[in-house]
Amino acid sequence: MDEALVRQREAFKRKALSTPTVEKKKLDESAAAFKDEPKKKPKTAPPSSAPKLDASNYKTMAGSSSYRFGVLARIVRHMKQRHQQGDDHPLNLDEMLDETNQLDVGSKVKQWLQTEALQSNPKIEVTHDGKFSFKAVYKIKDKKALLRLLKQHDLKGLGGVLLEDVQESLPHSDKALKHLANEVLYIIRPTDKKKILFYNDQTANLIVDEEFQKLWRATAVDAMDDAKIEEYLEKQGIKSMQDHGPKKPLAPKRKKGGQKKRQYKKPRDNEHLADVLETYEDNNLTLQGSAVTNK
């Protein structure tokens, strides 16, 4: 090998060793590491800890309150429909779940229904043998019971009965109301537009002159309360509303001081004859205006 080439090779090695290349190497490694590092995703809100409702496992979520109350609402709705159709015999829990197609509920839900939910529900009544039936607003089973209820409300001054309460309580209520069309009055309540049933007492019907009917219908009192009506009547010289309404009993007045003792008065006899009778002497009786002598 040529000596000149050997000397050039050795000189190149010395020059390479004298040149610092460590810092450059570290920078290259850090740059490469920065390039290989994946980009960080922007921060997002943490996922909710509540479990997501899935159609496949919804019925298996025994601890879900919405599921439990859904089962209860379905049972109550079914018991109401049975009662309105005339089928009011009581059922146990398994029979209610069978008729509502809910036999796949868990044991925890059954325990909750049996001991808590159905016991405290205002629309469910518990029988003596531990079964359940629908609890309606009124216990009426036919049109005679409905008519008797309306008569009692009319006699006691309790007002009318809501139509929706009658439809809920009376089985086949539409047929019964059709038969009682002449004995029932329907009034629509202006506040919520609900229909109210009243007993149509035929004995209270009066024939009113047409002139009075026109005057009654021409007087608008919809936006007036009792105080304004009373004020208007007083301005017209009418005071017929003064003594209406319950009266408060007046407290007895107490006399000041103790009771005075009554003084005894002697009876007064024949004071009106003081001018007539004059004297009594022996057997002689002398009267004014006449002389009568008895010996």
Q: Is the pLDDT of residue 256 over 80?
A: no
For the stretch 4-44, pLDDT in tens is 777 888 888 888 777 765 555 454 555 555 455 555 555 55
Which band of pLDDT confidence, cut at 50, 70 and 90, is reported for residue 70? very high
Which band of pLDDT confidence, cut at 50, 70 and 90, is reported for residue 121? very high
Residue 78: inside a domain:
yes
Regarding whether 125 and 70 lie in a shared domain, the answer is yes
Mean pLDDT of 82-107: 89
Mean pLDDT of 178-202: 88
Output 258 or 115, whichever has higher pLDDT.
115
191 in Cβ contact with 222 (< 8 Å): no
Domain span including residue 95: 65-134
Mean pLDDT of 154-182: 88
Query: Which pLDDT does position 86 carry in this prediction?
Result: 86
Residue 247: inside a domain:
no
Q: What is the CATH number of the domain that holds 76?
A: 1.10.10.10
181: helix, coil or strand?
helix
What's the total number of domains in the chain?
3
Output 97 or 290, whichever has higher pLDDT.
97
Regarding whether 125 and 150 lie in a shared domain, the answer is no
Regarding whether 152 and 118 lie in a shared domain, the answer is no
The reported pTM is: 0.49
Q: Tell me which residue of 129, 133, 126 sits closest to 169, measured CA to CA.
A: 133
Lowest mean pLDDT among 64-68, 75-79, 221-225: 221-225
Query: Which pLDDT does position 74 carry in this prediction?
Result: 93
Strand ranges inside 111-191, DSSP E? 124-126, 132-134, 161-162, 184-188
Four-residue CA torsion sign, 209, 211, 214, 216 = negative
126 in Cβ contact with 119 (< 8 Å): yes
DSSP 291: -
